[in-house]
């Protein structure tokens, strides 16, 4: 079979690219190693920038998000027993963010692609790529025990950090930038109503804590922990007590507790691979970059990659003009590095770094005092959090 665009990975990036291209009359096939049930049940963060919300809405995917998503007009920074709210609309000309879980976005995308007759091939393991330096690349894959080949004009790897796509770029062409932090996030999904209407980012001498939500009845909460933490040392009661302690304020506060549905540790790392293209192979999403979760940028960067790449592909297929396609990597990486910088800054601002000692802790508090007292500093945080303007 020959198709215009072969897409590896049925995560948000791959599915959104297939959906947007279909709206423009461009054919694609999506290959996914896992089953549909697995893909639709993967729990990931889901804070959507204003631009991501707009992109989903404009492409016909906003109905369920508008119905069950949680619109947030600010966040709270909590430190030294004090509460400080960052109001997004007043600082960003009316912008906000939407809390809408990634697996819900994936469900919407799969439903839309299937309703439109899209070709989604689950349990299709990609074995290799051929001819990416030519005008006729192909993808070798195995599905239900049968070896198959998909011939394309373009291959887009949206197959995540551990996927095969990035490894197809010659090592001498690829440059990698990486930082692995010496801690992780111990996260729980709990059957408990959110303790706050908006996300709380708490800085404490013992480490960072984040209070988020998935719905009006389910909370998502995180604690900074050692990278090699043993979950056996963290029974549910200890987690709840530590969450309450790290967000303490005078007079206490009503932390809603409930049964823990899931528990796990998320590593904290920064990663960027350059360039994001080689020949007729293009990378998007986690295949090209990872950000610390502190800035809530992972899914949003994937959507931004898709926005940039889809526009370039549409121009190329319609007119033969390759200018946008050749500039894809440089264009996407400018936004990637802005998001990396913001995520690094948020991580540095709120986490405990043992190597910096008491001096570093005092610097953090001084920075937080500045951020919450300066209109310019609050605007900088808000502008980055809701999403910087797209560079059209």
Helix (H, G, I), strand (E, B) or coil at 389: coil
User: Cβ(265)–Cβ(293) under 8 Å?
Assistant: no
Instruction: For 158, list phi and psi in degrees, rounded to 5.
Output: -120, 40
Vertex 316: Cα angle to 310 and 322 (nearest 5):
105
Residue 91 in tokens: 């600082």
Beta bridge mates, 2: 151
Residue in the block written with tokens 């070709």: 119
Q: What pLDDT is attached to residue 31?
A: 98
DSSP 168: G
Residue 91, pLDDT score: 98
pTM of structure:
0.95
Catalytic residue among 12, 137, 194, 293: 293
What is the C-alpha separation between 143 and 126, in angstroms, rounded? Answer: 9
Q: What is the DSSP letter of 159?
A: -
385 is catalytic: yes
Phi, psi (deg, nearest 5) at residue 382:
-65, -45
pLDDT of residue 227: 93
Catalytic: 84? Answer: no
Q: What confidence score (pLDDT) does residue 43 get? A: 75
Contact 304, 197 (CB under 8 A): no
**CB of 168 within 8 A of CB of 202?**
no
Given the residues 95, 297, 328, 351, select the one marked as catalytic: 297
pLDDT digits (tens, 9 = 90+) for 237-260: 999 999 999 999 998 888 999 999
* Catalytic site residue from 141, 181, 222, 385: 385
Shortest CA distance to 155 belongs to which of 177, 167, 171, 139?
139
pLDDT of residue 44: 76
Q: Which residues pair with 16 in a beta bridge?
A: none
**Closest of 262, 268, 10 to residue 125, by C-alpha:** 10
Tell me, what's the pLDDT at 361? 95
Name the CA radius of gyration of the chain, rounded: 21
Which residue in 181, 201, 222, 328 is the catalytic one? 201
370 is known as an active-site residue: no
373 three-class SS: coil
User: Which residue matches tokens 């291209």?
Assistant: 21
What integer pLDDT is reported at residue 12 of this predicted model?
96
19, 72, 204, 289: the active-site residue: 72
CATH number 3.50.50.60 given to 2-72+96-178+269-351: yes
Q: Which residues in the chain show pLDDT less than 70?
A: none
β partners of residue 5: 28, 154
pLDDT for res 281: 98
Q: How far apart are CA 54 and CA 198, in angstroms?
A: 21
CA–CA dist 215, 311 (Å, integer):
33
| C-alpha closest to that of 126 among 8, 42, 43 | 8
pLDDT, position 202: 98
Taking a C-beta distance cutoff of 8 angstroms, is the pair 110, 77 a contact?
Answer: no
Determine the pLDDT at residue 175.
97
Cα–Cα distances in Å, from 339 out to 295, 316, 342?
8, 28, 5
Q: Which two tokens stand for residue 232?
A: 């056996």
72 is catalytic: yes
For 143, the token pair is: 């599905």
Rounded Cα gap, residues 367 and 349, in angstroms? 7
pLDDT at res. 220: 95
What are the tokens at 16? 């959104």
Q: What are the residues facing 179 on neighbouring strands? A: 270
- Percent of the chain past pLDDT 70, that is, above it, reads 99
Residues 229/186, Cβ–Cβ less than 8 Å: yes
Asked if residue 134 lies in contact with residue 77, where contact means CB atoms within 8 angstroms, the answer is: no
Which residues on neighbouring strands pair with residue 183, listed in sequence order? 226
> pLDDT, tens digit, for every residue of 48-91?
999 999 999 999 999 999 999 999 999 999 999 999 999 999 99
What is the β-pairing status of strands 209-215 and 138-143?
A: unpaired
């Amino acid at each position: 079979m020959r198709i215009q665009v072969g897409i590896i990975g049925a995560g948000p990036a791959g599915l959104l690219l297939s959906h947007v291209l279909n709206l423009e009359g461009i054919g694609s096939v999506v290959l996914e190693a896992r089953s549909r049930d697995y893909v639709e049940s993967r729990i990931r963060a889901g804070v959507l920038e204003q631009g991501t919300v707009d992109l989903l809405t404009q492409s016909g995917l906003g109905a369920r998000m508008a119905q069950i998503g949680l619109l947030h007009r600010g966040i709270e920074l909590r430190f030294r027993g004090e509460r400080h709210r960052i109001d997004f609309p007043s600082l960003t000309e009316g912008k906000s963010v939407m809390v809408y879980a990634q697996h819900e976005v994936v469900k919407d995308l799969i439903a839309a692609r299937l309703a439109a007759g899209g070709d989604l091939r689950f349990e299709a393991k990609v074995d290799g790529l051929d001819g990416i330096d030519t005008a006729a690349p192909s993808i070798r894959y195995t599905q239900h025990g049968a070896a198959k080949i998909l011939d394309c004009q373009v291959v887009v790897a949206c197959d995540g950090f551990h996927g095969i796509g990035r490894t197809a770029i010659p090592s001498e062409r690829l440059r990698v930038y990486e930082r692995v932090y010496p801690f992780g996030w111990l996260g729980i999904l709990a059957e408990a109503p959110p303790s706050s209407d908006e996300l709380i980012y708490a800085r404490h001498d013992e480490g960072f804590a984040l209070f988020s939500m998935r719905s009006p009845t389910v909370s998502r909460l995180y604690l900074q922990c050692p990278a090699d933490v043993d979950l056996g040392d963290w029974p549910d009661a200890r987690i709840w007590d530590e969450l309450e302690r790290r967000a303490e304020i005078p007079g206490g506060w009503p932390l809603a507790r409930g049964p823990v549905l899931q528990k796990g540790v998320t590593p904290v790392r920064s990663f960027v691979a350059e360039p994001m293209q080689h020949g007729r192979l293009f990378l998007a999403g986690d295949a090209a970059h990872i950000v610390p979760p502190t800035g809530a940028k992972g899914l949003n960067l994937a959507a931004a990659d898709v926005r940039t790449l889809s526009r370039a592909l549409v121009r190329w297929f319609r007119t033969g003009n390759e200018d946008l396609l050749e500039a894809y990597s440089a264009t996407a990486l400018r936004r990637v590095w802005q998001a990396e910088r913001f995520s690094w800054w948020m991580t540095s601002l709120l986490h405990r770094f043992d190597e910096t000692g008491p001096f570093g802790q005092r610097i953090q508090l001084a920075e937080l005092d500045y951020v919450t007292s300066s209109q310019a500093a609050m605007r900088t945080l808000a502008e980055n959090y809701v999403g910087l303007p797209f560079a059209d």
